[in-house]
Amino acid sequence: MMLSNTDIERLERLGHDRQKFVQYDRHGFARLKNRRGLCVFYDVEKCRCQTYGHRPLGCQIYPVIYSEQEGIVVDDLCPMQDTVSKIELKREGKKLVELLQRIDNEAHARVVESVRREK
């Protein structure tokens, strides 16, 4: 799951160490780390998210996702996919587009800052 700076800061305010839950890729994008194929915040014993009330916006919007081939869609891998109405898809899709634009801008800023520091 991709993260915005707001997501990261919210999780840090809960006491989580950024080093333990954020992974940056070479393009500057921040993503949730996985452990054994699952999100680091997924509690296997309780079968739930440890940060559910404060989870990243992308997690809140899910199962609405962006597909490069189809645009804004409901993830067909989600067992609850049939519960998303057209109105909800449109509303959450708008949030998703705004989130992805913010994440893209933040990643670009990280790369620019990294290049600036290297000079």
Give the pLDDT means over successive 10-residue stretches in the chain (119 positions).
97 97 97 95 95 96 96 95 96 97 97 88
Query: Whole-prediction pTM value?
Result: 0.90
Q: State which H helix or E strand residue 2 sits in.
A: strand 2-3
Which pLDDT does position 30 carry in this prediction? 98
Single out the residue of 35, 41, 39, 38 nearest to residue 11, CA to CA. Answer: 41
Q: What is the pLDDT of residue 115?
A: 86
Nearest to 40 by CA among 80, 96, 1, 79: 1
State the pLDDT at residue 12. 98
The DSSP line for 20-71 is HHEEE-TTS-EEE-EETTEETTEETTTTEETTGGG--HHHHHTTEEEETTTE
CA distance 56 to 32: 9
C-alpha–C-alpha distance, residues 119 and 115, integer Å: 7
Task: Give residue 116's pLDDT.
Answer: 87
